[in-house]
Homo-oligomer: A and B are copies of this chain.
């Protein structure tokens, strides 16, 4: 995980709409949610708007999609969030272990 990628994922989560979407998917668990149900759950009126947000989450690797006939199942990609949290904790947190990670010491 580097700064660029972390920033990309943070930006993807950095909109209330997308954070709600992601959270709904996490809560849906392994089964995931079809786009339609996701739309009702997060309260986005236009399907095209949701589609747009979903694309951004998929592009950053935080969400995956699997087609089942006509419906698209969306799922949170847990390892991606784990990696992001790990990056924040290691690179951007104030614990003792931090402050000299070395990747880009400048």
Contacts and interface: CB of A to CB of B under 8 A. Distances in A.
B85 A27 contact: no
Interface in A1-45: 3-4, 6-16, 18-20, 22-24, 26-27, 29, 41
A26 B91 contact: yes
Q: Is the interface of A mostly helix, strand, loop or mixed?
A: helix
List of 6 A-B pairs having minimum Cβ-Cβ separation, nearest first = A11-B14, A10-B14, A78-B94, A14-B14, A7-B16, A7-B19
Given A12-B14, A19-B6, A24 B94 contact: no
Specify how many copies of this chain sit in the oligomer: 2
A47 interface: no
Contacts of A59: none
Interface in A55-99: 76, 78, 81-82, 84-85, 88-89, 91-94, 98-99
